[in-house]
Amino acid sequence: MKIDKIETYRVAIPLIKPFKTALRTVTTAESILVKVTCDNGITGWGEAPPTVVITGETLSSIESAIHHVLKPYLEQQSLLNYEALFQGIQSILIGNSSAKAAIDMALYDCLSQQCKLPLYQFLGGHKQEIETDFTVSVNGPEEMGEDAVAYVQQGFDVLKVKVGKDNILTDIERIREIRGRVGKAIKIRLDANQGWSPKEAIQAIRKMEEMDLNIELVEQPVKAWDIAGLKQVTDHVDTLIMADESVFSPRQAFEVIKTRSADLINIKLMKSGGIYQAQIINQLAEVSGMECMVGSMIETRIGITAAAHFAASKKNITRFDFDAPLMLAKELVEGGVKYKGRKVTLPSEPGLGIRHVHVGEGASIGNTI
């Protein structure tokens, strides 16, 4: 089973509503889609969205990494030697984690198809159905309150609320408004996207605790590099603190776990460089008694399906953030995960379960390798 051909496509899909965080505003979901074809006819799909403010990658840099480094390394290699291949993908190229992730998930798609298993079963098979939260973009308190009510009415009982923009008083008002509108039964988790200083984070979280706003967790309150600040926040509040941008690699995960700088870790395939490394991060966390969440960037159903297969396969992954396809104005993918309100069901077909990708319909086709 040799890797015969690797192709890439550029796609761009408008969002239904702008996605706003403390780091960026997105109106169009752009991605590089990767198609890997093996000499036995099996094809696998992967995806890499450019997220400059997090991974440092652009559409062009992702294509360049695949065209000039990953493809020459992988072509005509046997996929059955996948342990060596996945290690090689990480070692031949520094950074470029999304480019690596796209190749990684396409290879896992091929491997699990060869074994005639859905990917989540190939990886461990813990469960076939999970539940996602839905993200409330950072806007004015009243608009965020209205959005939160709309998402609850659509069947979501966990809201991931973006904060960290403007000042902490406005952030507190945002959460007070949302909690007042949705009631106490709805879980609210916050994502500051590095928007606070350690002191601001402690002050804001303590105030929300005093106001009994019942926040489940706060994700990445401080700058990604500030592990000492992250630990300071974790040590001085009762609310659970989750590391996101602070953890790309297993080595960074080990540092956060060793210092107990956070209570939880958010794993994203676009940060870890794919499923192979993501499994190592989860295993490190699990043996240390730390649960994980799996999240995503603004991705199509291809990337989300791969992440959901990984997340569903592991017992230690207890929280899920897979709402991105529901934000897109157009669907390019047949197959993959299925949504029914907050419930996300993994396909039973082998591999990712992607049946067809309409790269020529509503998408711009990019370079082919």
Number of H helices and number of E strands within the chain? 13, 16
Residues 157 and 24 in one domain: no
Asked if residue 72 belongs to a domain, the reply is yes
Residue 369: its pLDDT value, please? 36
Asked if residue 362 belongs to a domain, the reply is no
Residue type, 178: I
Boundary-marking domain end, from 100, 116, 132: 116
Asked if residue 364 belongs to a domain, the reply is no
Percent of the chain at pLDDT above 70? 97
pLDDT in tens, 68-118: 999 999 999 999 999 999 999 999 999 999 999 999 999 999 999 999 999
pLDDT in tens, 330-360: 999 999 999 999 999 999 999 999 999 998 6
Residues 210 and 338 in one domain: yes
Give the least confident one: 92-106, 123-137, 184-198, 349-363.
Answer: 349-363
Residue 46: its pLDDT value, please? 98
Is residue 368 over pLDDT 70?
Answer: no
Q: How far apart are CA 89 and CA 2, in angstroms?
A: 16
Model confidence band, residue 215 (pLDDT cutoffs 50, 70, 90) = very high
Residues 36 and 125 in one domain: no
Residues 148 and 133 in one domain: yes
The beta-carbon contacts of 116-121 under 8 Å, at least 24 apart in sequence, are: 116/350, 117/350, 118/309, 118/346, 118/347, 118/348, 118/349, 118/350, 118/351, 118/353, 119/306, 119/309, 119/310, 119/313, 119/351, 119/352, 119/353, 120/308, 120/309, 120/310, 120/312, 120/313, 120/346, 121/313
Residue 60: its pLDDT value, please? 98
Arithmetic mean of pLDDT, 208-228: 98
Residue 359: its pLDDT value, please? 85
- Residue found under tokens 């799909």: 45
Q: Is 162 among the catalytic positions?
A: yes
Radius of gyration of the chain (CA): 20
Structural domain of residue 144, as residue ranges?
Answer: 121-353
Asked if residue 369 belongs to a domain, the reply is no
Task: Check if the beta carbon of residue 239 is closer than 8 Å to that of residue 217.
Answer: yes
Q: How far apart are CA 241 and CA 260, in angstroms?
A: 10
CATH number at 142 reads 3.20.20.120
Q: Using the Cα atoms of residue 190, residue 192, residue 198 and residue 202 in order, give the sign of their dihedral.
A: negative
Residues 237 and 107 in one domain: no
Q: Which of 20, 268, 271, 314 is catalytic?
A: 268
* Residue in 208, 199, 206, 250 with CA at minimum distance from that of residue 228: 199
Q: Give the count of domains, the chain.
A: 2
Model confidence band, residue 365 (pLDDT cutoffs 50, 70, 90) = very low
Asked if residue 366 belongs to a domain, the reply is no
Asked if residue 365 belongs to a domain, the reply is no
DSSP state of 352: T
Point out which residues pair with 38 in neighbouring strands. Answer: 3
- Residue found under tokens 């929300």: 208
Residue 362: its pLDDT value, please? 44
Residues 268 and 208 in one domain: yes
- Residue found under tokens 């994502």: 191
Asked if residue 363 belongs to a domain, the reply is no
Q: Which of 100, 160, 162, 271 is catalytic?
A: 162
Residue 197: its pLDDT value, please? 98
The count of other CB atoms within 10 Å of the CB of residue 318 is 13
SS (H, E, C) 71-126: HHHHCCCEHHHHHHHHHHHHHCCCCCHHHHHHHHHHHHHHHHHHCCCEHHHHHCCC
Residues 111 and 128 in one domain: no
pLDDT in tens, 147-162: 999 999 999 999 999 9
Boundary-marking domain end, from 81, 116, 151: 116
Q: 282-313 burial by CB neighbour count: b if 16+ within 10 A, else e?
A: bebbeeeebbbbbbbbbbbbbbbbbbbbbbbb
Is residue 361 over pLDDT 90?
Answer: no
Residues 276 and 163 in one domain: yes
Residues 84 and 129 in one domain: no
Model confidence band, residue 366 (pLDDT cutoffs 50, 70, 90) = very low
Is residue 167 over pLDDT 80?
Answer: yes
Residues 331 and 190 in one domain: yes
Q: How far apart are CA 93 and CA 87, in angstroms?
A: 11
Residues 234 and 320 in one domain: yes
Boundary-marking domain end, from 99, 116, 133: 116
How big is the CA angle at 285 (ends 305 and 119), to the nearest 5 degrees? Answer: 25
Q: Mean of the per-residue pLDDT values for the chain?
A: 96
Q: How far apart are CA 3 and CA 107, in angstroms?
A: 9
Task: Give 238: exposed, middle or buried? Use CB within 10 Å, 0-12, 13-18, 19+.
Answer: exposed
Arithmetic mean of pLDDT, 184-188: 97
Residue 367: its pLDDT value, please? 40
Residues 95 and 138 in one domain: no
The beta-carbon contacts of 338-344 under 8 Å, at least 24 apart in sequence, are: 339/132, 340/155, 341/154, 341/155, 341/156, 342/131, 342/132, 342/133, 342/134, 342/155, 342/156, 342/157, 342/158, 343/129, 343/130, 343/131, 344/129, 344/130, 344/131, 344/132, 344/308, 344/320
Asked if residue 324 belongs to a domain, the reply is yes
